[in-house]
Chain A
Amino acid sequence: MHAMTEHEAGLRVSLHQAAPIPLAVELTCGPGEVLALVGPSGSGKSTVLRCIAGLHTPAEGRITCNGETWLDTRARHAKPTAARRIGMVFQNYALFPHLSALDNVREALPDRCASDARERATRLLAKVNLQGLEHRRSHQLSGGQQQRVAVARALAREPRVLLLDEPFSAVDRATREKLYGELAELRRELAMPVILVTHDLEEAVMLADRMTLLSQGSSLQTGPPLTLMREPDSLDVARLVGLRNLLEVQVEAHEADYTRLRWGALALRVKRQADAPTGAVTTACLPAEGVLLLAARAEREADETHLPDGFDNPVSGIVRRYLSLGDRVRMTLEVPDAAGALLSMTLPRHLADRLSPTEGSAIALRLRGAVIHLIPTTRKG
């Protein structure tokens, strides 16, 4: 037994295959940690979850949990699903339709025949706020209640890993908001690794400690969700996290407290990123909230106090598109000084109403250099 050498707490996953679904995934998840697997549909995130659960066996792979080997394709070892201590919440919950909520939970208890099984199942249902609904079947429960039964059932097994496959996608928005709160509450009590599959970045930001971004079966980048969203290390990641403003820039110089970039005819001051080689042509990404209107002086001075790091880069643009999105407005702006490059920005409706910009009108902007991130040239997608 080599168990001692790899007796590490948490989950370690390494999966590789070319077909039927290409996979190149490496991930780890520590005890009590929530790792979100995020990617567009078809990116393989559910397949990764199925591999961990043993519902799919990849061509090559190794999965260990708390030092116990669940899968080792080289040694031709694959623990069957029923023998892996996992708790799984399916996208559509997959409750046993002919059983009551209580019996759904009881089926998953490791010793379901014990005299206190009923009591423990009842307690688990109470934990997910379903007291009084123990005897209902799934079709008598709302979507949110079904999800709670599924969570209670997954926890009933006293799992070593909790796997959540898009657990919020099948409920309405109001219920979802409520369930987010409940899961955030619950996770404080959970000591096992939690893998959350979602296509929703906001969900990952709210619930996960780290996230792994998947595309076409490959794990692209792993890190805290906000870091990934602000500091993508490749163009693919930048696009997947929805960064619209990707500027083609040249690194001019690294000053003492900032880096100077050339963007067309404009010089931009951004936060210091000394690892970008001087002279390199690269892509700078700028979140939509990093594009601000150049406000009137009084407001600007007030604003300045909120931005002690503010590398303000004044830029003038021409409104090319004005799109109303409820309480927000999205504008596409052309920057003549940057060879006609386009910028995207969003602003609150009340502000837009006050300024009432029209398509074709010129507008003064500032670009927040503090949030401009340079994508490493080596990892350019």
Chain B
Amino acid sequence: MDWNALKLSLLLAAATLGVLLPLGVWLGRLLAWRRFPGKVLVEAALALPLVLPPTVLGFYLLVAMGGDSQLGQWYQALAGRQLVFSFDGLLIASLIFNLPFAIQPMQRAFEAIPIEVREAARCCGMSAWRRLWRIELALAWPGILSAAVLTFAHTLGEFGVVLMVGGSIPGETRTLAISIYDRVQAFDTAGAATMSAALLAISLAAIAISYLALNRVLRHARHD
């Protein structure tokens, strides 16, 4: 069992969530409630990682973050090392390939809040923060939970983009999914099996927790 890889995977998933959840709440509300020119294009761009082959996405990220790119040079000057094949580079890639998984469920959840309910909150004199906490997040939380679980599980499992952008540097970019691949390549089937089982268990637990939570909400609503 590659504990380093497991730790790295969990760290990457947690960092991705830490950035994408607030971003998703902001962007999800914006897309759900505002109309602006080019909205369809933004939505299409956000959905692109769903259909793009991971290697294609990984290739473009590699180019965008490489030493010849503006971003790569800027990072080099700031951090003194290259962005690709680093944890930071991996995190940027992870944020991008997780965009649809984080934003779409939240957008749907915010869309489901009736406009009159939001207007009623304003008519009650509630401040923007209070409306966000007390009404919007309180009503959209099942969607936010879905987004979190999907993002978390998807980060643990992503292989193609991670390999393209991060390679397989132990402790820096070798995630659990990459480690499993390495084990198989080295004919260490037992090691691969342990780690696969671990990944399966974590993913299953995450999905189960979200389903149980949602189920409780729905049952609560039905039986009350």
Contact = CB atoms under 8 A, between A and B. Distances in A.
Interface in B99-127: 114, 116-117, 119-127
A53 B123 contact: yes
Nearest to B120: A94
A107 B126 contact: yes
B123 A88 contact: yes
Determine chain B's interface SS by DSSP, over half rule.
helix
Contacts of B221: 139
B123 A96 contact: no
B68 interface: no
A253 B121 CA distance: 61
Contacts, number: 62
Interface in B19-60: none
Contacts of A96: 117, 120-121, 134-135, 139
Contacts of B139: 96-98
B122 A139 contact: no
B123 A81 contact: yes
Contact of A82 (B114, B125, B134): B125
B119 A98 contact: no
B112 to A, nearest CB: 11
Interface string B119-148: 111111111100000110011000000000
* B116, B134, B139 — most chain A CB neighbours (10 Å): B116
Nearest to B135: A96
Nearest to B141: A98
Interface of B: 114, 116-117, 119-128, 134-135, 138-139, 221, 224
5 contacts: A81-B119, A92-B114, A96-B134, A108-B124, A157-B124
Interface of A: 53-55, 80-83, 85-88, 90-92, 94-98, 107-108, 110, 137, 139-140, 153-154, 156-157
For the complex of A and B, 7 pairs with smallest distance between CB atoms? A94-B116, A108-B124, A94-B120, A88-B123, A81-B122, A90-B116, A94-B117
